[in-house]
């Protein structure tokens, strides 16, 4: 594996608060990694350490084999943070040129705009006059301006409509084919599910799940095949089928819980069960996330409260 980011036993303490607690991780070059977690989980603290903005209290952080504060590393990193702090007195093209000037081998503006969807007509406008969506595109443009190898995107699609989101993620995918690595945060989990190669889920300063979205879902969520049927004996027959772990009825539908939805469909057709309106449902990353981050409180009588 070609490693671009390495954290070894990293902790960050703010006063009494341990925001990050003994985190170790490696990130592979060319991957798209989603850093997820509920509010206060430690995501921003981790990213700030990777960007070299704050120092760990303990442990080591290396980006491209060096300290992230090293100038050579900084010149290979681009970041799109939540609020683009747009300088009022500058026009869009001036702002882009300013950021380009910090980097040794920046992209030209006409290479950048097709990548980020910023329109030529926006280049001459004052940055603070742009709409929310245009500001996100400008933020993305500034993150890519220096032609970085490692790109941080903090909630990059907030305020973008559905089409703009899709175009955005298609462009991100294109960047990884050029060997670039993407680290992003989002509270919009379907986006992580659809576009991340890997999800790292933080909670209370530690990593509580790490893997492909499919691996995390299959470990934590259930799949089902459901249908409508008037056959009153069917539920008992279904319970006896191999791979069916539960059968229940909800809103006029019979649900069979199974890891093998294809096998379940085959059984329905082979046995000619009198069913209609068949649906196959797989658990979503949201379900896994909720399951992992809902902290059950135990009261003093030993009962678990969610
Ligand atoms: N500069 C700071 N001083 C004191 N406490 C801090 C500081 N920065 C973060 N914290 C605390 O550390 C914990 C982790 O914060 P962090 O901002 O990393 O979480 P997050 O996962 O990014 O949350 P969010 O999704 O709300 O942005 C929180 O309890 C936060 O209050």
From the CA of 143, how far away is ligand 1's center (Å)? 23
Ligand 1, pocket-test mutation among 11, 36, 41, most atoms within 8 A of CB: 41
Both 132 and 256 in one domain: the answer is no
Ligand 1, pocket-test mutation among 15, 16, 19, most atoms within 8 A of CB: 19
**CATH, residue 229:** 3.30.70.920
Residue 21: what pLDDT? 97
- Tell me the C-alpha to C-alpha distance, in Å, between residue 3 and each of 27, 49, 55, 66, 286: 6, 17, 21, 12, 29
- Domains of the chain: total: 2
Both 230 and 196 in one domain: the answer is no
Residue 163: what pLDDT? 87
Whether residue 19 has its Cβ less than 6 Å from ligand 1:
yes
Asked whether residue 294 is domain-assigned, the answer is no
Both 147 and 83 in one domain: the answer is yes
Both 85 and 119 in one domain: the answer is yes
Whether residue 14 has its Cβ less than 6 Å from ligand 1:
yes
Both 208 and 244 in one domain: the answer is no
Residue 85: what pLDDT? 66
Asked whether residue 239 is domain-assigned, the answer is yes
Whether residue 44 has its Cβ less than 6 Å from ligand 1:
yes
HEC secondary structure over the chain: CCEEEEEEEEEEEECCEEEEEEEEEEEECCCEEEEECCCCCCHHHHHHHHCCCCCCCEEEEEECCECCCCHHHHCCEEEECCCCCCCCCCEHHHHHHHHHCCCCCCCCHHHHHHHHCCCHHHCCCEHHHCCHHHHHHHHHHHHHCCCCCEEEEECCCCCCCHHHHHHHHHHHHHHHHCCCEEEEECCCHHHHHHHCCEEEEEECCEEEEEECHHHHHHHHCCCEEEEECCCCCHHHHHHCCCCEEEEEEECCEEEEEECCHHHHHHHHHHCCCCCEEEEEECCCHHHHHHHHHCCCEECCCCCEEC
- Looking at this predicted complex, what is its ipTM? 0.97
**CATH, residue 168:** 3.40.50.300
Both 29 and 69 in one domain: the answer is yes
pLDDT per residue as tens, the chain (306 positions): 799 999 999 999 999 999 999 999 999 999 999 999 999 999 999 999 999 999 999 999 999 999 999 999 999 999 998 766 666 778 999 999 999 999 999 999 999 998 888 888 899 999 888 888 888 899 999 999 999 999 999 999 888 888 888 889 999 999 999 999 999 999 888 899 999 999 999 999 999 999 999 888 877 778 899 999 999 899 999 999 988 988 998 889 999 999 899 999 999 999 999 999 999 988 888 888 887 887 544 344 434 333
Provide φ and ψ at 275, rounded to 5°: -125, 160
Both 197 and 268 in one domain: the answer is no
Ligand 1, pocket-test mutation among 20, 36, 37, 43, most atoms within 8 A of CB: 43
Asked whether residue 301 is domain-assigned, the answer is no
From the CA of 92, how far away is ligand 1's center (Å)? 31
Residue 296: what pLDDT? 44
Residue 212: what pLDDT? 94
From the CA of 42, how far away is ligand 1's center (Å)? 6
Residue 298: what pLDDT? 38
Among protein residues, the one with the nearest Cα to ligand 1's atom 1 is: 14
Give the structural domain span for 229: 222-282
Both 94 and 133 in one domain: the answer is yes
């Amino acid at each position: 594996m070609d490693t671009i980011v390495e954290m070894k036993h990293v902790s960050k303490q703010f006063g009494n608060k341990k925001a990050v607690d003994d985190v170790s991780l490696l990130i592979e070059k060319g991957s798209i990694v989603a850093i997820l977690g509920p509010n206060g989980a430690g995501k921003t603290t981790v990213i700030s350490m990777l960007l070299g903005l704050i120092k760990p209290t303990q442990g080591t952080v290396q980006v491209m084999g060096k300290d992230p504060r090293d100038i050579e590393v900084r010149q290979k990193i681009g970041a799109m943070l939540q609020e683009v702090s747009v300088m009022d007195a500058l026009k869009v093209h001036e702002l882009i040129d300013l950021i380009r000037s910090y980097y040794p081998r920046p992209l030209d503006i006409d290479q950048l705009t097709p990548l980020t969807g910023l329109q030529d007509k926006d280049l001459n406008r004052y940055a603070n006059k742009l709409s929310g969506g245009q500001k996100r595109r400008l933020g993305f443009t500034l993150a890519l301006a220096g032609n970085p190898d490692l790109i941080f995107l903090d909630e990059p699609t907030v305020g973008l409509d559905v089409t703009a989101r899709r175009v955005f993620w298609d462009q991100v995918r294109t960047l990884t084919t050029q060997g670039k690595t993407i680290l992003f945060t989002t509270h919009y989990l379907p986006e992580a599910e659809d576009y991340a190669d890997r999800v790292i889920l933080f909670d209370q300063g530690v990593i509580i799940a790490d893997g492909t979205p499919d691996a995390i879902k299959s470990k934590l969520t259930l799949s089902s095949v459901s249908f409508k049927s008037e056959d009153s004996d069917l539920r008992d027959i279904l319970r006896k089928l191999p791979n069916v772990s539960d059968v229940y009825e909800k809103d006029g539908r019979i649900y069979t819980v199974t890891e093998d939805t294809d096998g379940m469909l085959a059984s329905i057709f082979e046995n000619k069960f009198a069913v209609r309106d068949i649906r196959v449902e797989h658990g979503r990353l949201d379900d896994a996330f909720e399951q992992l981050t809902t902290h059950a409180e135990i009261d003093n009588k030993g009962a678990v409260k969610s």
